[in-house]
Chains A and B, each alone.
Chain A
Amino acid sequence: MLRAAQKQDQAVSAKRAWNVVVFSVGGKKLAARTEDVGGVAAWVDPLPVPSRTPFVTAMLKRDKDVMPVYDLGGRLSRHPEGDTLLCLVARHVDGPMAICIDGVIPSLHNVDVAHILPSKRLDLETLGSFSDEGQDIEIVALQRLGRNRQDHVGS
């Protein structure tokens, strides 16, 4: 009984906090839910693709996988920084998608849902934002990136 209650408490506290990966693009800190991140690897030069889909204009090969590149830096009007850039693999609803991020190794954070505020910005798919060391960090909705919709915290 006690064990069952403990498990329930753990489940409730898990729902009250989100595990997020904090990364940066052009020096701007962003976050994504850990379950939306497929991995982080070294960036490789992508293959440009003639395309009219906004910010989806390249593809890259990673091991045996071929995935499109989402130009998040271009969308934010920022250039990824660092001598060795990194590739963040987003678990998008249409399949894995590569995003070029700064060369700073992403860090894991546990954010209390109570501290996550609904995002005010409409130009990027986000799940909300939280404050860390006085800096607002948007939680990017990687699953829906490029679909131009806004969700609010609560799920």
Chain B
Amino acid sequence: MSLRGHHIATTAVVQTARFLVVRFGRILCALPSQGVRGVLTPAEAGTGSQITFVGITYQDIDLASRLGVTLDPANPDMRVVLYTNGQTNGAMRVEAVIGMIEVERGECRPLPSHFQHEERTWISGTTMCKDELVLILTPEWVLGELGEVVAASTGPRSLSAS
């Protein structure tokens, strides 16, 4: 309390990051929220190779196959996420949208240095969502600007578990 009886408020500046968390099979991915332009149902998105939404055209992106996941078209939770980095616009089908999360920067960890190859440019790090590990994807890789295609492989037991 100050001399005049006012409370002195101190505001701690905590840097946060916002992500849209989506699911591909057992893989949870976080997309930086600033690039999200919309989430549509498959019926709203249609079946073409591109989607026009609010006057902007989004090219179809098969992120699921790059993650080694086959999506079930009959899955009622499937959504189409419209995403952009300002240069490239993409529409990606995801198994489910988990939701938007806001985490402190300190809760975003870099990819462990054991990962030594191109994946370091694909994945900027990890964070947690509902106590589950989430991969933070780089928008450029998501949008196919890096020209890299690889399928995620699975560990010894994960094959049988998926």
Contacts and interface: CB of A to CB of B under 8 A. Distances in A.
Contacts of A16: none
Contacts of B126: 59, 66
A64 to B, nearest CB: 9
Contacts of A39: none
Contacts, number: 101
A112 B99 CA distance: 57
Contacts of A61: 128, 132-133
B112 A73 contact: no
Contacts of A100: 155-157
B156 A73 contact: yes
Interface residues of A, number: 33
A52 interface: yes
Given A58-B154, A59-B126, A59-B133, A47 B27 contact: yes
Interface stretch (B8-16, B35-43, B145-153): B145-153
Of A52, A71, A92, which is in contact with the most chain B CB atoms at under 10 Å from its CB?
A52
A46 B132 CA distance: 11
Contacts of A92: 114
Given A43-B157, A58-B155, A85-B156, A48 B68 contact: yes
B114 A50 contact: no
B92 interface: no
B152 A49 contact: yes
Contacts of A50: 66-68, 119, 122-123, 150-152
Interface of B: 26-28, 66-68, 109, 112-119, 122-123, 126, 128, 132-133, 135, 150-158, 161
Pairs A-B, 7 closest by C-beta atoms? A52-B117, A48-B152, A50-B152, A51-B119, A68-B114, A58-B155, A100-B156
